[in-house]
Amino acid sequence: MKKIIYLLAFSFLFFIPSISQAYVIKSADFIYVAKDEVIEGNLYFSSKSINIEGQVLGDVIGVAPNIQINGQIKGDLISISQNLIINGQIDGNLRTISSVNNINGSVGKNINFLGESIILGKDSFVGQDLLIKTIGLESNGKIEGSIHGGAYNSLINGQIEKNINLVTDNIKRKKYSSSLEFGDSAVVGGNLEYKSGNLAKLKNETIKGKITHKFPEKQNQSKNKINKTLYLILSSFLIALILNKLFKNKIDKLKKIIIEKKQNLILPGSIILLLGPITFFLIAITIIGFPVALIGLIFWFLAIFLSRILIAVLLGDYIFKLVKKENISIYLKILTGITITFLFFSLPFIGWFFSLISIITGLGAFYFIIRKN
Give the pLDDT of residue 250: 84
pLDDT tens, residue by residue, 218-256: 765 566 677 778 888 888 888 888 888 888 888 888 888
* pLDDT per residue as tens digits for the range 18-27: 444 466 878 7
Report the pLDDT value the prediction gives residue 10, as an integer from 0 to 100.
39
Q: Which residues of the chain have pLDDT under 50?
A: 1-21
DSSP letters for 150-215: EEEEEEE-SEESS-EEEES--S--S----EEEE-TT-EESS-EEEE-SS--B--GGGBSS-EEEEP
Q: For residue 237, how far is the Cα from the chain centroid?
A: 19
Same domain, 199 and 236: no
pLDDT at 265 (0 to 100): 85
Residues 285 and 232 occupy one common structural domain: yes
Question: Do both 201 and 117 map to the same domain?
Answer: yes
Contact assessment for residue 280 and residue 301, using Cβ atoms and an 8 Å cutoff:
no
Same domain as 130, residue 194: yes
Pick the last residue of a domain from 214, 246, 279: 214
**Do 108 and 92 share a structural domain?**
yes
Q: Clarify whether residues 226 and 113 are in a common domain.
A: no
Q: Quote the pLDDT of residue 129.
A: 96
> Residue 83's pLDDT is what?
92
> What's the structural domain count of the chain?
2
Task: Note whether 151 and 205 are same-domain residues.
Answer: yes
CA within 13 Å, CB half, 116? 8
> Are residues 259 and 363 both part of a single domain?
yes
240 with 140, same domain: the answer is: no
Query: In sequence order, which residues have a C-beta less than 8 Å from that of residue 315 and are 6 or more positions away?
Result: 337, 340, 341
Same domain, 110 and 61: yes
Domain shared by 233 and 156, yes or no: no
| 254 in the same domain as 163 | no
| Boundary-marking domain end, from 175, 195, 214 | 214
Question: Nearest 5°: CA angle at 202, between 193 and 207?
Answer: 55
pLDDT at 35: 94
Q: What pLDDT shows up at residue 4?
A: 38
Q: Which domain holds residue 166?
A: 2-214
